[in-house]
Amino acid sequence: MHPRILEVRRNLLKKNDELARDLRGRFLSDGLFVVNLVSGPGTGKTALLRRTLGELLNRGYRPIALVGDLATDNDARRLAESGAPVRQITTDGVCHLEADMVARHLAEWSPGPADFLFIENVGNLVCPASYDLGESLRVVLLSVTDGEDKPLKYPKLFNTADVAIVTKADLAEACEFDRAAAEANIHDVRPGMQIFSTSAKTGVGFDAWLAFLIDQRTACGLPVRDERPFVSQP
């Protein structure tokens, strides 16, 4: 890479990281636990998130969601069916979300009181790994339809995540998915990473996933419920 291009990229990432640190502090101060969902396209992020939002609402929590997409609002409309407040971020061809995009859209939005903010990142196996969005938890998804070797082909995405979810578990047998091999590959890239296996269609694995989310929120020192509304600063 040309030295000048490399320097520009470093400066952009530094600026992003500084804003992300500021956002993280503000989120936690406002009692908001932020989850960044990353994966390639077609892994079932929207289906998993839609069920997650609905299940949290049923448990008395107040989740909201930001959805990144290159050109459409299809996923945002699907997520809104859960009953949770949802806002679309259209990137106009940019293959990832950045902290500035998150900050700008939150400054223009008044979703009301919230306990969880989920950010569904653009479906991409490379770019989202480099951009901190101020999240407290980064979750990487691997579908049984993706194949077991994705973690080895795209190690940075898995190495920068905190936890992994294998999605579409109801299709595992039909796809001849080798779960043991997939988990071994994940652990080769990120030793000891916790892995959940879920099906948004059947609900398999969601009790464990939701319990983990709530425990992680509590581990950040956030109360079980926080009646203060989240108010983003411009």
As given in the structure block, the two tokens for residue 132 are 């901190």
Q: Could you give the CA distance from residue 153 to residue 138 in angstroms, rounded to a whole number?
A: 19
Tell me whether residue 148 is in a domain.
yes
Domain with 184 in it: what CATH number?
A: 3.40.50.300
Are the CB atoms for 155 and 161 separated by under 8 Å? Answer: no
Q: Could you give the CA distance from residue 115 to residue 76 in angstroms, rounded to a whole number?
A: 19
The secondary structure of 59-90 as a DSSP string is TT--EEEEEEESS--HHHHHHHTTTS-EEEEE
Tell me whether residue 142 is in a domain.
yes
Single pTM value for the model: 0.91
pLDDT in tens, 190-208: 999 999 999 999 999 999 9
Within 10 A of 34 (CB to CB), how many other CB atoms are there? 23
What pLDDT sits at residue 11?
75
Tell me whether residue 169 is in a domain.
yes
Are the CB atoms for 188 and 152 separated by under 8 Å? Answer: yes
119 forms beta bridges with: 36, 66
Tell me whether residue 186 is in a domain.
yes
Q: Residue written as tokens 């940019």?
A: 94
Tell me whether residue 230 is in a domain.
no
Q: Could you give the CA distance from residue 141 to residue 158 in angstroms, rounded to a whole number?
A: 9
Tell me whether residue 229 is in a domain.
no
Q: Residue 155 is part of which domain span?
A: 3-219
pLDDT in tens, 143-175: 999 999 999 999 999 999 999 999 999 999 999
As given in the structure block, the two tokens for residue 139 are 């979750």
Q: Could you give the CA distance from residue 90 to residue 122 in angstroms, rounded to a whole number?
A: 9
Q: Could you give the CA distance from residue 166 to residue 43 in angstroms, rounded to a whole number?
A: 9
Would you give per-residue pLDDT tens digits along the chain (234 residues)? 556 556 656 777 899 999 999 999 999 999 999 999 999 999 999 999 999 999 999 999 999 999 999 888 899 999 999 999 999 999 887 899 999 999 999 999 999 889 999 999 999 999 999 999 999 999 999 999 999 999 999 999 999 999 999 999 999 999 999 999 999 999 999 999 999 999 999 999 999 999 999 999 999 998 765 444 444 443
Tell me whether residue 72 is in a domain.
yes
Let me know how many helices (H) and strands (E) the chain has, helices first: 8, 7
Sign (positive or negative) of CA dihedral 108, 213, 149, 203: negative
Q: What are phi and psi of 58, to 5 degrees?
A: -65, -25
* Number of structural domains the chain divides into: 1
Within 10 A of 46 (CB to CB), how many other CB atoms are there? 21
